[in-house]
Structure 1
Amino acid sequence: MRFQYAFQKIVDLKSNEKTQAEWMLSSAIGRLQAEEKSLSDLLDNRERLAIQLQEAAEQKAPVSKIREYQMYVEHLEQCIVKKHTDVHHANVNVEMKKNQLTDRVLDEKVWLKARDKAKSSFQQSMLLREQSELDEMATVRFAIKAR
Structure 2
Amino acid sequence: MAYRFKFEKILNLKEQEKEEAQNYYQESISKFELVAEKLYDLLKKKENLEIFQSNKLVSGFPIHEIRHYQQFISNIEKTIEYYQELVIQARNRMNWYEQKLSEMSVEVKKYEKMKEKDFCQFKDSMRLSEEKFLDELTVMQFMNRGN
User: Normalized against structure 1, the TM-score is what?
Assistant: 0.95
Separation in 2, partners of 1:101, 1:136:
52
Separation in 1, partners of 2:53, 2:99:
46
SS in 2 for 1:4: coil
Show the counterpart of 2:32. 32
Residues 56 and 66 in structure 1, CA contact (< 8 A), matched pair in contact too: no
Q: Which amino acid aligns with 2:143?
A: A
| Pairing of 1:32-51 with structure 2 (within 5 A) | 32-51=32-51
Show the counterpart of 1:133. 133
Show the counterpart of 2:75. 75
Deviation at 1:31, TM superposition (A): 1.0
Separation in 1, partners of 2:62, 2:85:
35
Q: Percent identity?
A: 27
Separation in 2, partners of 1:67, 1:54:
13
| Pairing of 1:1-147 with structure 2 (within 5 A) | 1-147=1-147
| Runs of 4+ deviating beyond 6 Å | none
Separation in 1, partners of 2:65, 2:58:
13
Deviation at 1:4, TM superposition (A): 1.0
Q: What are structure 2's unaligned runs of at least 5 residues?
A: none
Q: What are structure 1's unaligned runs of at least 5 residues?
A: none
Separation in 1, partners of 2:114, 2:32:
37
Q: Which amino acid aligns with 2:127?
A: L
- Give the number of aligned pairs: 147
Deviation at 1:6, TM superposition (A): 2.1
> What are the Cα deviations for residues 93-112 of structure 1, in whole angstroms up to 9, with x where unaligned?
11111110110001001111
Deviation at 1:21, TM superposition (A): 1.0
Separation in 1, partners of 2:51, 2:37:
21
> What are the Cα deviations for residues 55-104 of structure 1, in whole angstroms up to 9, with x where unaligned?
33223222111100000001111111111111111111111111101100
The root-mean-square deviation of aligned C-alpha atoms, in Å, is 1.1
